[in-house]
């Protein structure tokens, strides 16, 4: 391995989080770069002409996955912000993430793109945030005012402050049903038009979901989740007739989808309702099969 | 103006190259093609969509068009470094040739490099595995069936 010697006023490569935060304040016009798959593509497209880059690749504490323990008893898994999507896929933390990551961009991009870069701007089409909502994740960050850890719900609602860097994502141990589904222009990988991620954990008796592509950020399906957690008979592991339909309806009601060149708001809302219903039907079937 | 230029060092095909006066925003693709004259790496969409610019970084395929040269840390392999120096072909290249039907060939360096990493990890790959694993490489001449066949065949060798 060789390290590129590219230090200059316009390319800053700190080697610790502390240095990075200082660099952010000293060079507020620099764009933070995780893997650069979005930042560099935007430069090529003429969307961004940032005068400087702040590379996060040289900060060891931002790299890598530390798997947590078993559901219910174990501690959370920690995913450093600089973890590549490929490394996250290889870590096999959750069947939901497996499907979502395989639908995300291409193997080439996943070898370079990072978890921090995927969620930082809270773009509604980005694949990970709906899954992280469904997995009840939290986001750790550091900035000029110190460090903080927030639920992913708060993170998608509030975003990052000035000069704030994502440090890691923590996933609590969750068992049971975990699925991600989407509608997209093609079956192969790429941005979804709309997506739903749901996790139903019988041990913790909780339901969490995330909706992609159907608002200004990824959205939590809170009302639908609360409804279902109430409706499920956890002892027998069954949901009453009509619960799946109602779940889908409540998810769709939580959306504020755009109409754009890919689909209308009405299409997206309908797709969310159908995906939500089918996911709960699939869970029901799984319960019955035992 | 001056501070828009940087010096960097890159390890490509086993040799270390010192690049003087690169643009701070320059991509790996640009350095490979226009500063190191390694034009086997193709330039097409320049936005990470097509895979023509695929190179290996520490053995794994990446899109050189969306990798900032200043942020490349590791061993880069281009098609020039992958192909045997004596002009012979690797088993993967032979299998692709035998499967036939490659047309303009513009996608081929990227296909070969992505394919070489794919078959390393997927011995005896199924067609579905090849389709999924090679989804980052587009062929504008749509020679997909022969590519898939060639890579599948090579994975069985
Ligand atoms: C062809 C193509 C297809 C794609 N398909 C998909 C897809 O299907 N789904 C999807 O979700 N995305 C997709 N993307 C977008 C992008 O590749 C991914 O979202 C990727 O995860 C971004 O990560 P990165 O590390 O490359 O981000 P970068 O480009 O490095 O950064 C992206 C943004 O995040 C900020 N940032 C990065 N890391 C941090 C941090 N630790 N703290 C604070 N801010 C940070 C940067 O400043 C920048 O604003 C695609 C991109 C391309 C080019
Ligand atoms: S030229 Fe890089 S992916 Fe198309
Ligand atoms: S053979 Fe022409 S692009 Fe693939």
Which chain B residue has its CA at the smallest distance from A3's CA? Answer: B73
- Of the three residues A122, A154, A171, the one that is the final residue of a domain is A171
Counting beta carbons within 10 angstroms of the beta carbon of residue B56, is it exposed (0 to 12), middle (13 to 18) or buried (19 or more)? buried
pLDDT at residue A220 tops 90: yes
Nearest chain A CA: its distance from B11 CA (Å): 7
How do residues A79-98 score in pLDDT, each as one tens digit? 999 999 999 999 999 999 99
Whether residue A186 is found in the same domain as residue A165: no
CATH code at B113?
Answer: 1.10.150.120
DSSP string of A48-92? Answer: ---SEEEE-TT-GGG--EE---STTTS--EEEETT-BHHHHHHHT
Whether residue A47 is found in the same domain as residue A122: no
pLDDT at residue A112 tops 90: yes
Whether residue A284 is found in the same domain as residue A242: yes
pLDDT at residue A1 tops 50: no
The pLDDT score that the predictor gives to residue B119 is: 98
Six token digits for residue A279: 């996911």
Whether residue A219 is found in the same domain as residue A233: yes
pLDDT at residue B139 tops 90: yes
Q: How confident is the model over A229-244, as a mean pLDDT? A: 94
Kindly report which listed range (A183-187, A261-265, A273-277, B90-94) carries the lowest average pLDDT score. Answer: A183-187
Residues above pLDDT 90, as percent of chain A? 90
pLDDT band per the 50, 70, 90 thresholds, residue A5: very low
Whether residue A85 is found in the same domain as residue A159: yes
Residues of B whose CB is below 8 A from A108: 48, 51, 54, 61-63, 114, 136
The pLDDT score that the predictor gives to residue B68 is: 98
CATH code at B11?
Answer: 3.10.20.30
The pLDDT score that the predictor gives to residue A8 is: 73
Strands (E), chain A: 11-12, 30-33, 52-55, 65-66, 77-80, 138-143, 146-151, 165-171, 177-183, 194-201, 206-212, 219-220
DSSP 3-state assignment of A165? strand
Residues of A with CB under 8 A from a CB of B: 1-6, 8-11, 13, 33, 36-37, 39-41, 43-45, 50, 52-53, 55, 57, 86, 102, 105-109, 111-112, 188-189
Ligand 1 binding residues, C-beta < 6 A: A 31-39, 41, 56, 81, 85, 104-105, 109, 113-114, 116-118, 120-121, 126-127, 160, 165-166, 189-191; B 47-49, 66
Residues of B whose CB is below 8 A from A37: 48, 63, 66
How do residues A123-134 score in pLDDT, each as one tens digit? 999 999 999 999
Which residues, at least 6 apart from A78, have a Cβ–Cβ distance to it below 8 Å? A65, A66, A68, A168, A169, A170
Whether residue B69 is found in the same domain as residue B8: yes
pLDDT at residue B111 tops 50: yes
- Of the three residues A60, A79, A96, the one that is the final residue of a domain is A60
The pLDDT score that the predictor gives to residue A6 is: 46
CATH code at A25?
Answer: 3.30.43.10
Whether residue B50 is found in the same domain as residue B95: no
Pocket-testing residue among A79, A116, A129, A141, ligand 1, by greatest number of atoms within 8 A of Cβ: A116
Q: Considering only the beta carbons, identify the residue of B57, B72, B135 that sits closest to A106.
A: B135
- Cβ–Cβ under 8 Å, residues A194 and A268: yes
| Mode of pairing for the β-strands spanning B54-57 and B15-23 | unpaired
Residues spanned by the domain of A48: 2-60
CATH code at A198?
Answer: 3.30.390.50
pLDDT at residue A243 tops 70: yes
Ligand nearest to the CA of A143: 1
Residues above pLDDT 90, as percent of chain B? 95
Q: For chain B, what is the total number of helices (H) and then of strands (E)?
A: 6, 5
Q: How confident is the model over B1-22, as a mean pLDDT? A: 92
Whether residue A189 is found in the same domain as residue A240: yes
CATH code at A101?
Answer: 3.30.465.10
Per the prediction, chain A carries an average pLDDT of 94
Taking Cα atoms as reference points, which of B104, B139, B140, B157 lies closest to residue B148? B139
Whether residue B97 is found in the same domain as residue B74: no
Residues spanned by the domain of B151: 91-155
Q: How confident is the model over B130-155, as a mean pLDDT? A: 96
Measured CA distances, A124 to A119, A212, A217 (Å): 9, 6, 4
Nearest chain B CA: its distance from A48 CA (Å): 11
Task: Report the predicted TM-score, pTM, of the whole model to 2 decimal places.
Answer: 0.96
The pLDDT score that the predictor gives to residue A31 is: 97
Query: How many independent structural domains does chain A possess?
Result: 3
Contact A37 B63 (CB under 8 A): yes
Q: How confident is the model over B7-11, as a mean pLDDT? A: 96
pLDDT at residue A237 tops 50: yes
Whether residue B146 is found in the same domain as residue B105: yes
pLDDT at residue A4 tops 60: no
Residues of B whose CB is below 8 A from A41: 47-48, 66
Kindly report which listed range (A6-10, A49-53, B130-134) carries the lowest average pLDDT score. Answer: A6-10
B141 lines ligand 3 (CB under 6 A): yes
Query: How many independent structural domains does chain B possess?
Result: 2
The pLDDT score that the predictor gives to residue A2 is: 37
pLDDT band per the 50, 70, 90 thresholds, residue A241: very high
pLDDT at residue A189 tops 60: yes
| Strand order across the beta sheet in which A165-171 lies | A65-66, A77-80, A165-171, A138-143, A146-151
Taking Cα atoms as reference points, which of A11, A89, A102 lies closest to residue A52? A11
Whether residue B68 is found in the same domain as residue B123: no
pLDDT band per the 50, 70, 90 thresholds, residue A7: low
Which chain B residue has its CA at the smallest distance from A187's CA? Answer: B132
pLDDT at residue A73 tops 80: no
Whether residue A206 is found in the same domain as residue A227: yes
């Amino acid at each position: 391995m060789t390290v590129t010697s590219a230090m200059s006023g316009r390319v800053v490569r700190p080697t610790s989080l502390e240095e990075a935060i200082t660099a952010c304040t000293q060079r507020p016009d620099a764009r933070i770069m995780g893997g650069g798959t979005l930042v560099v593509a935007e430069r090529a497209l003429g969307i961004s002409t940032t005068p400087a880059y702040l590379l996060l690749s040289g900060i060891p504490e931002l790299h890598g996955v530390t798997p947590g323990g078993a559901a219910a008893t174990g501690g959370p898994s920690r995913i450093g912000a600089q973890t590549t999507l490929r490394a996250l896929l290889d870590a096999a933390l959750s069947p939901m993430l497996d499907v979502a990551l395989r639908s995300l961009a291409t193997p080439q991009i996943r070898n370079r793109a990072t978890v921090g870069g995927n969620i930082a701007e809270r773009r509604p089409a980005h694949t990970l945030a709906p899954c992280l909502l469904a997995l009840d994740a939290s986001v750790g960050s550091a900035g000029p005012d110190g460090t903080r850890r927030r639920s992913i719900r708060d993170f998608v609602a509030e975003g990052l402050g000035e000069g704030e860097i994502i440090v890691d994502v923590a996933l609590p141990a969750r068992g049971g049903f975990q699925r991600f589904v989407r509608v997209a222009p093609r079956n192969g990988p790429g941005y979804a038009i709309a997506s739903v991620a749901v996790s139903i954990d019988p041990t913790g008796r909780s339901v969490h979901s995330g909706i992609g592509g159907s608002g200004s950020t990824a959205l939590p399906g809170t009302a639908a989740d609360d409804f279902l957690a109430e409706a499920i008979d956890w002892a027998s592991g069954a949901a009453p007739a009509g619960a799946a339909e109602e779940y889908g309806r409540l998810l769709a009601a939580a959306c504020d989808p755009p109409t754009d060149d890919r689909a209308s708001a009405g299409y997206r809302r309908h797709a969310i309702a159908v995906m939500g219903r089918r996911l709960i039907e699939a869970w029901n079937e799984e319960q019955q099969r035992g | 103006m001056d501070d828009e230029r940087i010096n960097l060092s890159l390890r490509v095909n086993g040799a270390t190259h010192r690049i003087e006066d690169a643009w701070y925003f320059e991509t790996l693709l640009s350095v490979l093609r226009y500063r190191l004259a390694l034009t086997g790496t193709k330039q097409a969409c320049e936005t990470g969509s097509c895979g023509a610019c695929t190179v290996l970084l520490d053995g794994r395929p990446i899109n050189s068009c969306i990798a900032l040269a200043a942020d490349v840390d590791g061993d880069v392999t281009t098609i020039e470094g992958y192909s045997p120096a004596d002009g012979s072909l690797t088993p993967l290249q032979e299998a692709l040739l035998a499967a036939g039907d490659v047309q303009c060939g513009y996608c081929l360096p990227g296909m070969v490099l992505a394919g070489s990493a794919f078959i390393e990890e997927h011995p005896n790959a199924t067609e579905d595995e090849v389709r999924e694993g090679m989804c980052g490489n587009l062929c504008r001449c749509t020679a997909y069936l022969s590519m898939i066949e060639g890579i599948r065949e090579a994975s069985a060798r």
